[in-house]
Amino acid sequence: MKWYVFAFALCLCGPWTSKAQEQPTLLPDALAIAEQSAAPKLQTGTIVGNVTDANNDAIPGAAVELLGPTSADRRNVVTDANGFFQFNDLKPGIRYRVTVSVDNFSKWTSPLVALNPGQRFVLTGAQLRISRVVTTVTVASSPASLPEIAAEQLKIEEKQRILGIIPNFYVVYDHYAVPLTPKLKFKLALRTSIDPVTIAGVALFAGIYQAADYPDYVQGAKGYGERFGSIAADGFADIMIGGAILPSLLHQDPRYFYQGTGTKKSRALHALSYAFVCKGDNGRLQPNYSTMGGDLATAALSMAYYPASDRGVGQVFGSFLIGTGERVAASLVQEFILGKFTSKGKKQD
């Protein structure tokens, strides 16, 4: 009786005992699943914004690019009809940058943005400016048209007068002036020599020389006439030789080219150099043989009509040096003073 009871009890308890023994092998998987369910999910962020123009009008169809540290962090979207864009599922802690570009507008780039977990960042300031369009126009003149252009420019120069009275024909205020032909060089020299104000200036200096008793002519009407003639001859010879004959032979421009811009030092150096450096007809700077040669030739020719007491090699070189010094001083005055009082120079200063 006891044996049967024991066997029956064993049959009933056997399966439960087996399951109880297998149960611990299932616990680790269950715990892992539970742990995964309990672990917090990584919260991503979002960047949104609106793209507008300078008038705060929306710009649809703009290309918006999200830039991150790696290529995997880069994305591209296009703004909608309201200029709106959005980037979702962005990793927190990563430094992003947004760029916006569209035709006819300057590209816009945002500052770096680092999101916090779950943050929705509204990017402001995406306002595009119309890109600057630079147009360069190059006007080329054919060689055949240069004399006509030079003639027209010379007509303007022949109207230049200090305070509207004193001729200031030998100054160029146009930075795009073309070289003069030999014919125009002689025309300019003759026009300056016979101008009524030039003749009046000769008469004035003749009176000053008369008072100073220089050159050593007699006093009275005869002496005044001789001084008037010598001053007129000096001026005519200087302007014709240094302003027409030598410039035509040497292909140099006898005019002073007003600088007008830059530092005072650069303008002063420009003016001081004029007596020794000139612009050639080819546009390049050259030694000013025309001006220096004109001053020296004029001083030498004056020995033919000056009184014997005012002749000699010393007087020739003395007159040359005085003439050069006067030209240097005149250039400085032209650069810093007379341009403001010259009828045409003032408009282009």
Cβ atoms 247, 189 nearer than 8 A: no
User: Nearest-CA neighbor of 295 among 271, 327, 269?
Assistant: 327
Distance CA 90, CA 43 (A): 9
Task: Specify which residues 344 forms β-bridges with.
Answer: none
Class level of CATH domain 45-123: mainly beta
Domain segments of the chain: what residues? 45-123, 143-348
Residue with tokens 């945002």: 110
DSSP string, 287-334: E-HHHHHHHHHHHHHGGGTS-GGG-SHHHHHHHHHHHHHHHHHHHHHI
Cβ atoms 209, 215 nearer than 8 A: yes
**Residue 59, phi then psi, degrees to nearest 5:** -115, 100
Residue with tokens 């929306």: 58
| 57, two tokens | 């009008």
Cβ atoms 228, 210 nearer than 8 A: no
Q: From residue 120, give the alpha-carbon distance in Å to each of 77, 315, 344.
A: 17, 93, 65
- Contacts of residue 233, Cβ cutoff 8 Å, sequence gap at least 6: 301, 302, 305
User: Nearest-CA neighbor of 42 among 119, 95, 110, 113?
Assistant: 119
Phi-psi region of 263 (alpha: psi -120 to 50; beta: other; left: phi over 0): beta
Per the prediction, the chain carries an average pLDDT of 86
| 22, two tokens | 């297998």
**Residue 302, phi then psi, degrees to nearest 5:** -65, -20
Distance CA 320, CA 317 (A): 5
Q: At what angle do helices 182-193 and 220-240 cross, to 10 degrees?
A: 160
- Per-residue pLDDT at 154 exceeds 50: yes
Please report which residue ranges of 102-243 form alpha helices under DSSP H.
146-157, 182-193, 196-212, 220-240
| pLDDT value for 175 | 84
| pLDDT value for 41 | 66
| pLDDT value for 139 | 56
- Per-residue pLDDT at 345 exceeds 70: no
Alpha-carbon torsion angle 246, 251, 255, 258, nearest 10:
-150
pLDDT in tens, 205-243: 999 999 999 999 999 999 999 999 999 999 999 999 999
Q: What is the model's pTM?
A: 0.60
| pLDDT value for 70 | 87
pLDDT in tens, 14-72: 443 444 444 444 445 555 555 555 556 678 999 999 999 988 999 999 999 999 988 88
Distance CA 206, CA 220 (A): 12
Amino acid at 90: L
Cβ atoms 201, 171 nearer than 8 A: no
| pLDDT value for 69 | 87
| pLDDT value for 130 | 86
